[in-house]
Amino acid sequence: MTLLSVIVLNLRQPELLRACLRSLETALARVDGETELVVVDNGSGDGSGALVRAEFPRVLLTELPENRGFTGGVNVGLERSSGEFVALVNNDATLEPGTLLELLRVVETADDIGSVAAQMRFADRPETINSAGIGVDRLGIAYDRLLGSPVSHSEREPIEVFGASGGAVLWRRRVLDQIGALDDPYFIYLEDADAAWRARMHGWRALYAPDAVVWHHHSMTTRHISDFKYELVGRNRVRLLARNACLGQLLPYAPAMVAYDIAYIVYAMARDRTLAPLHGRLRGLREWRSARRSGAAGRRRVELEPRQGLGAALARRRAWGGPQTP
């Protein structure tokens, strides 16, 4: 039986993909057990598939005819892989040699650990954290823990977190089988928060492993300041709440949620001259009922983090150098 499958989704980044796969081959060589490396190309049309076939013949390559988004591409990879554990790694990331081994070590420390988050650092700012797992606050705002903090501020030992960023995470396949993999309508953005929320509703814990280091060329495929990202993040913020939040979480915080979103929309209008955050949220509200039904099975209350607020969102923007994931 295959112990570990690593899935890399690629979209028009052949040079970054080459570096990613080289680092993965080195990291996989340290794993004691059967492994496989799966690449799903999301209709790049730029020779990425030919590069993989020529330079990485042991890779299991699937070339899709069109871009099916992060969720669609990853779900194809899940269908075509067989590992007891599944690692998702962004094509714009590279791993330290011992990262996969450390993720496996941490996930096997307890039977109820469903996922493990790596320590993601900015590739161009190697002493700055990009993600140390993710949190979701009581307004339903998902965020990367310790974003923009120096590495020295990180915990030194594994610690429980709400979930893991989809850019560098190890999942126990049994969890993904139970919760239904990634929710395809997200396309991209916040699908990792949705999966983490659903896993917690089923009783699975997530840990952050600070010694599992990944270097990330952040947002190389999709730009931060773009109407595409603004609209999808806005739509998916509403979808995240519709699918996962109980009425006991929605009703008390509804006024604060509305106030936050209005402030965010006004800020984006003034700062970036765009109404895309508004359009995305309106689209999410139009889809509320269908999203609510899609998440109904097994919905139960889970503990969320204290409110972060708009100030924290603006701090995330400064740390990224672009719009935050609100």
Question: For 219-272, how does the pLDDT look when each residue is reduced to its tens digit (9 = 90+)?
Answer: 655 566 789 999 999 999 999 999 999 999 999 999 999 999 999 999 999 999
Model confidence pLDDT, tens digit, residues 100-136: 999 999 999 999 999 999 999 999 999 999 999 999 9
Cα–Cα–Cα angle for 218, 220, 222, rounded to 5 degrees = 105
Domain limits, the chain? 4-216, 227-320
State yes or no: pLDDT of 326 exceeds 70: no
Kind of pairing between the strands at 35-41 and 60-63: parallel
* pLDDT for position 267: 93
* pLDDT for position 314: 82
Q: What does the alpha-carbon distance between residue 232 and residue 212 come to, in Å, rounded to a whole number?
A: 30
Percent of the chain past pLDDT 70, that is, above it, reads: 96
Fold of the CATH domain 4-216: Spore Coat Polysaccharide Biosynthesis Protein SpsA; Chain A (3.90.550)
* pLDDT for position 268: 93
Which positions ≥6 away from 74 have C-beta within 8 Å? 7, 9, 40, 88, 166, 181, 182
* pLDDT for position 313: 85
Q: Are 119 and 106 in contact (CB under 8 A)?
A: no
Residue 61 sits at φ, ψ, to 5 deg, of -105, 135
Q: pTM of the predicted model, to two decimals?
A: 0.95
* pLDDT for position 322: 40
Mean pLDDT of 32-44: 97
CB crowding 76-108: b at 16 or more within 10 Å, else e: bbbeebbbebbbbbbbbbbbbeebbbbbbebbe
Beta bridge partner(s), residue 121: 129, 215
